[in-house]
Structure 1
Amino acid sequence: MEQNSLWVDVSVITLIALTALLFANLLLGYLASRRFKSDAKPTGHFIVRALRFPISISIILFALGSILNHFSLSTSAVSLLHDIFRSMDILVWGQFFYRSSQFYLKRLSAINAQGSIIKPQTLPLLENTSAVVIVLFTLYLLFVTWEIDMTAWLASAGIIGIAVGFAAKDTVANLLSGVFILADSPYKIGDYIVIDSGERGKVTNIGLRSTRILTRDDLEVNIPNSIIANGKIINESAGKDIRSRVRVPVGVAYGSDIDLVRDVLVKVAYAEEEVCHEPEPRARFRAFGASSLDFELLVWIDNPEFRGRIVDNLNCAIYKAFAEADIEIPFSQHDVYIKSMPDGMEHGHAAKIAAHGIQNTQPIIDENK
């Protein structure tokens, strides 16, 4: 009689479990096909479909655990089997949350809303962070299930963490700076940046420890992230678009026709093929210099990578245009006047010294560097 009652209970539990499985699959199938369609709500569609496996496993494991309680097994054996079932359930749900978090982060990165922290360059960091959090929480639940004391583990991890922190403080500083750079996103791969030390180049890689830039000399510079995080960064590719403004300073002699100078500079800018016509080029009279009237030609270019070449073209064109328009480009010159000569110095030698002027030239800045 007891044997018949046992199998009746097992049959009832099995029937309830099968009914629950059928109902859960029908409900999730309805939600996936009607409420959360893949084209309209891809995130909801993915989660609903991914829920089928963990829910089914949970129902089956719960039914098996309930059936075990009806058999004449020892307490230790039942407890062991329940712990095994619970561990399997934890692992299955941990996998579900891992897959869902990865899909959700990729979806947010694809949308890339303005001002959102989920950007393509921060996606790997957030994916790894979410994976570590889920794995650690899963391990914690497993330890609790098997009644493993975590105090000793945490103490050991704390001691090891302190020792590693002191031994590799520079590396830790670079890693933390890399995290902040990825989260704050002051620049991205392909941008032209200038850092405090003067290096200018295209960003080729952004890592957790360092950032690599490729200079115009075709040299790859590896810069620790802690240096970049604590310094000033000029991103020439930032803004509404990649275009950037270039300034070309030039001086003309006093007495020159300033209106003619403006017209010549603007015509030179419009004649250069790689200069943008919108915004239009402008010529500005900046200052009265020591020996020249200081002008500045302001133009916009499509890509900061070509700034050096375009400035070279503009300088050559300005020099030729000024020569054709008889606009003089002055240079700094100083005359030496001798009030009296030391005793014994010949008059002819003194005259030669007085006849020679001292000429100062300004250094030429290579824009390609």
Structure 2
Amino acid sequence: MNQFTVLQDNILLERLIIILVYSVLAKGLDLFIDRFLRRIASKTKIKLDDKLIKYLHVPIIWTVFGFGLLHALSVGPLSDPWQLILPQAIQSILLILWITAVIRIFNLMVDEYISSARQKGKIGKDIFMLLKNVLRVVVIIAGLLWLLSIWQINLTPLFASAGIAGIAVALAAKDTLANFFGGISIFMDNTYKVGEYIILDTGERGEVVEIGIRSTRIKTRDDVIVTIPNSIIANSKIINESAPIPRFRIRVPVGVAYGSDLEKVEEVLLAVADANSNIEKLPEPRVRLRVFADSSVNFELLCWVKDPRDKGLEVHNLLKAAYSAFAEQSITIPFPQRDVHISNPSADSFREAG
């Protein structure tokens, strides 16, 4: 009882005992993380858990020790200005440690996700870097605001100034912000990716070569780059020929003469498609009779190419192969013909007179 009374009377000794207890607890937690959790994480195939333990190890240990210091300081009053400065300084140090850890973990997660998205063509290099930096700045600003609140700094004037500055920036950069958020919506909706073929509502068709901060660029088959602001393309009708799967169906119109063996024509066209290595076997090619035209019976060969960029080339190859196959099988490809009758009124009159 006397020892407890002495401990209560000696605040400094009580504080040292509290700090010692928390130090032992922090050291025990350090050994647990280092010898147990690291060993378990090293046996997994995922590398992410090893890095998470590495980044969280130091903040956790120092947080336990920092709580011990705060507990010790709360035992009794301190003389001014230490009563205010020391707890806030400890909280600030802990906050900085955690902000650093969160930024490192955030960079790790962003690199893992957005880098894979970029490799798959979902996002361009510049917008990738912009998103990464913007999100990092958001984390830092949130941490700084928390730090200012720890020191009981009035944030109202700061928020008011930031609001006025934000309105001015928004009005000055209205189009730029519209394009930026248009690019974000394209990324989030997964409308198209780099390397895919799209058709704009204005009729341009080409390969997406870049999804940037301000605009999207497509390259047409004439090797012409078309640049479209993201704010416009986000509100336009887009046909993605490469989605949901990369293959693309082509239609090859073919006409044969009346009187041709239609079953034979169908077999020849299917054989032509089957002989082409760039034509997908599944779904299977098919032939459809479309119309009885003025001079021909019109068929259409429907098949799928592996890549939309091969559309024009494979239509060319299939038409050439069909022409040769029809010639071998004696299938006539008609062309318009007209019989012209010439009437000579003067010759007829002379013949009648004679």
- The answer, yes or no, to whether TM exceeds 0.5 is yes
- 2:23 is the counterpart of 1:18: yes
SS in 1 for 2:152: coil
CA contact (8 A) 1:249 1:296 kept: yes
SS in 1 for 2:302: strand
- 2:144 is the counterpart of 1:139: yes
Aligned equivalent of 1:304, options 308, 314, 324: 308
- 2:210 is the counterpart of 1:171: no
Q: Which residue of 1 aligns with 2:240?
A: 235
Q: Which residue of 2 aligns with 1:28?
A: 33
User: 1:220 is matched by which residue type in structure 2?
Assistant: I
Q: 1:174 to 1:334 in 2, by over 3 A?
A: farther
Determine the C-alpha separation between the residues in 2 that align with 1:158 and 1:30. Answer: 50
Determine the C-alpha separation between the residues in 2 that align with 1:135 and 1:107. Answer: 20
What's the CA shift for 1:313? 1.4
1:156-180 per-residue CA deviation (whole Å, 9 max, x = no partner) reads 2222323333333222221111111
Q: 1:144 to 1:201 in 2, by over 3 A?
A: same
User: 1:194 is matched by which residue type in structure 2?
Assistant: I
What's the CA shift for 1:197? 1.9
Determine the C-alpha separation between the residues in 2 that align with 1:334 and 1:139. Answer: 87
Counting only pairs closer than 5 Å after superposition, residues 1-369 of structure 1 correspond to structure 2 as 8-9=13-14, 11-33=16-38, 36-37=41-42, 39=44, 42-63=47-68, 74-105=79-110, 121=122, 124=128, 127-128=132-133, 130-240=135-245, 242-331=246-335
SS in 1 for 2:216: strand
Where relative contact order (Cα < 8 A, 6+ residues apart) is larger, the structure is 2
1:112-139 per-residue CA deviation (whole Å, 9 max, x = no partner) reads 9xxxxxx883694875565344223212
User: 1:101 is matched by which residue type in structure 2?
Assistant: F
What's the CA shift for 1:82? 3.2
Q: 1:110 to 1:31 in 2, by over 3 A?
A: farther
Taking structure 2 as the reference length, the TM-score comes to: 0.78
What's the CA shift for 1:334? 8.0
Identity of aligned residues (%): 41
Q: 1:109 to 1:205 in 2, by over 3 A?
A: closer
Determine the C-alpha separation between the residues in 1 that align with 2:172 and 2:336. Answer: 57
SS in 2 for 1:75: coil
User: 1:294 is matched by which residue type in structure 2?
Assistant: N
Determine the C-alpha separation between the residues in 2 that align with 1:283 and 1:270. Answer: 12
Determine the C-alpha separation between the residues in 2 that align with 1:162 and 1:336. Answer: 78
What's the CA shift for 1:213? 2.0
Q: Which residue of 2 aligns with 1:359?
A: none
Q: 1:328 to 1:41 in 2, by over 3 A?
A: closer
1:299-338 per-residue CA deviation (whole Å, 9 max, x = no partner) reads 222222222211111222223333444444445678999x
Bigger helix fraction: 2
Determine the C-alpha separation between the residues in 2 that align with 1:98 and 1:249. Answer: 59
Question: More displaced, 54-63 or 217-226?
Answer: 54-63
Computed over aligned residues only, the root mean square deviation of the Cα atoms, in angstroms, reads 3.8
What's the CA shift for 1:254? 3.3
SS in 2 for 1:187: coil
Q: Which residue of 2 aligns with 1:354?
A: none
Q: 1:49 to 1:136 in 2, by over 3 A?
A: same
Q: 1:263 to 1:151 in 2, by over 3 A?
A: same
Determine the C-alpha separation between the residues in 2 that align with 1:36 and 1:158. Answer: 45
Q: 1:312 to 1:61 in 2, by over 3 A?
A: same
Determine the C-alpha separation between the residues in 1 that align with 2:287 and 2:214. Answer: 44
What's the CA shift for 1:29? 2.6
Taking structure 1 as the reference length, the TM-score comes to: 0.75
Q: Which residue of 2 aligns with 1:363?
A: none
Name stretches of at least 5 consecutive residues in structure 2 with no aligned partner: 1-5, 347-354
1:37-69 per-residue CA deviation (whole Å, 9 max, x = no partner) reads 451565444433432211232344445556778
Q: Which residue of 1 aligns with 2:351?
A: none
SS in 1 for 2:81: helix
Q: Give the number of equivalent residue pairs.
A: 334
